[in-house]
């Protein structure tokens, strides 16, 4: 997904506040120095979160994954997950958000440009803005193009981290897919097995069961986990296994899951077309219901927004 999908106005020229290292700063002043370690060496980590009715869905899971991503990149955040949760709630409340997007990001600072930067300061920012229709592939779903770029092996890149470094690959893949007239790229993993889209996990419906790659070379998506639970609740079998690309020919339905994409039907992969089937439609509905039901069920401020 490109920035063009995300923005209504330039992201550095808006009203409001951004939480930066424990303080609320005016939106336009939330800047960092050009000689920041994170900018040069791709070590920053981030999250993409979604607020529904002013509450962030699975907030604690996202804060926890941000911390785990930083650890994978060799640094610790100077905040606990509970503190990040509280800061996020404050930012969302101050933005007066109903439906919106939340972007926490962490990076190593400008104390040193030594590649090995054990002592370099660590910074965290959290911004939130209205973004009611985050991602919409259209009623018929999104068209994917298999990318020449692949998800790297776990011994080649910190594949478990939601790290900026990995998004260089997704960005290239997404750009090429869009230039070819597709909605997003489908990346294979380093062994040529089906992996994921640029910002979403992949599911195939084969013989009434869900089949999805294990989170070895793909991000362990929070939506993925949620949808697996929902599928079990609907009595559907879920098989986590390595999938060769020829499995696409066996699939009756294909869909993606992600915080931004929610449950997104796939209309085509390359030249192969798919209809939005009953199972995908049921999961689209179940997920939409869940993210909104969390508003009704969870009314106490200190509780998890996970619903």
Taking the least distance from each CB to ligand PMP, the nearer of 173 and 251 is 173
Could you tell me the smallest distance in angstroms from the CB atom of residue 203 to ligand PMP?
12
Q: Per rule CB under 6 A, is residue 219 in the interface with ligand PMP?
A: yes
CB 173 within 8 A of CB 149: yes
Could you tell me the smallest distance in angstroms from the CB atom of residue 93 to ligand PMP?
22
Q: Per rule CB under 6 A, is residue 223 in the interface with ligand PMP?
A: yes
CB 266 within 8 A of CB 142: yes
Q: Per rule CB under 6 A, is residue 224 in the interface with ligand PMP?
A: yes
Q: Per rule CB under 6 A, is residue 202 in the interface with ligand PMP?
A: no
Task: Write out the two tokens for 66.
Answer: 């941000």
Taking the least distance from each CB to ligand PMP, the nearer of 125 and 187 is 187
Q: Per rule CB under 6 A, is residue 48 in the interface with ligand PMP?
A: yes
Q: CB within 8 A of 151, min separation 6: which ones?
A: 159, 166, 169, 187, 188, 189, 190, 195, 196, 217, 218
Taking the least distance from each CB to ligand PMP, the nearer of 110 and 257 is 257
The sign one gets for the Cα dihedral 56, 91, 218, 260 is positive
Q: Of 72-80, 104-112, 192-200, 280-288, which segment contacts ligand PMP by CB under 6 A?
A: 192-200
Question: Of 222, 243, 267, 290, which one interacts with ligand PMP (CB under 6 A)?
Answer: 222
Q: Per rule CB under 6 A, is residue 88 in the interface with ligand PMP?
A: no
Question: Of 174, 183, 258, 265, which one interacts with ligand PMP (CB under 6 A)?
Answer: 258
170-189 binders of ligand PMP (CB under 6 A): 170
Measured between alpha carbons, how far is 229 from 188 in angstroms, rounded to an integer?
A: 25
**Is-catalytic flag, 162?**
yes
Measured between alpha carbons, how far is 202 from 208 in angstroms, rounded to an integer?
A: 16
Taking the least distance from each CB to ligand PMP, the nearer of 1 and 117 is 1
CB 110 within 8 A of CB 33: yes
Q: Of 114-122, 215-223, 241-249, 286-294, which segment contacts ligand PMP by CB under 6 A?
A: 215-223
Could you tell me the smallest distance in angstroms from the CB atom of residue 177 to ligand PMP?
14
Question: Of 36, 259, 264, 280, which one interacts with ligand PMP (CB under 6 A)?
Answer: 259
Which of the residues are catalytic? 162
Which residues contact ligand PMP by CB under 6 A? 48, 170, 196, 199-201, 218-219, 221-224, 257-259
């Amino acid at each position: 997904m490109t920035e063009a999908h995300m923005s209504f106005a330039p992201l550095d020229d808006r009203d409001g506040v951004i939480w930066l290292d424990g303080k609320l700063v005016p939106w336009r002043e939330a800047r960092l120095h050009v000689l920041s370690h994170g900018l040069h060496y791709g070590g920053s980590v981030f999250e993409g979160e979604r607020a529904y009715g002013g509450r962030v869905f699975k907030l604690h899971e996202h804060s926890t994954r941000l911390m785990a991503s930083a650890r994978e990149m060799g640094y610790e955040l100077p905040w606990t997950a509970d503190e990040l949760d509280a800061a996020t709630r404050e930012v969302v409340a101050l933005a007066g958000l109903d439906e919106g997007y939340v972007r926490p990001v962490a990076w190593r600072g400008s104390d040193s440009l030594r590649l090995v930067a054990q002592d370099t300061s660590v910074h965290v920012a959290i911004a939130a803005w209205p973004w009611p229709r985050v991602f919409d592939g259209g009623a018929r779903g999104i068209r994917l193009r298999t990318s020449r770029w692949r998800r790297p092996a776990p011994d080649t890149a910190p594949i478990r981290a939601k790290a900026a470094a990995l998004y260089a690959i997704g960005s290239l893949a997404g750009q090429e897919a869009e230039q070819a007239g597709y909605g997003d790229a489908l990346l294979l993993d380093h062994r040529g097995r089906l992996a994921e889209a640029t910002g979403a996990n992949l599911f195939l419906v084969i013989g009434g069961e869900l089949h999805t790659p294990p989170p070895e070379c793909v991000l362990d998506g929070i939506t993925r986990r949620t949808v697996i639970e929902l599928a079990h609740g609907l009595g559907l079998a879920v098989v986590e296994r390595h999938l060769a690309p020829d499995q696409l020919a066996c699939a009756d339905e294909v869909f993606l899951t992600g915080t931004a994409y929610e449950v997104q039907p796939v209309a085509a992969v390359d030249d192969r077309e798919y209809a939005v089937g009953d199972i995908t439609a049921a999961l689209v509905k179940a997920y939409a219901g869940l993210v909104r039901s969390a508003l009704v069920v969870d009314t106490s401020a200190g509780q998890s927004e996970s619903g």
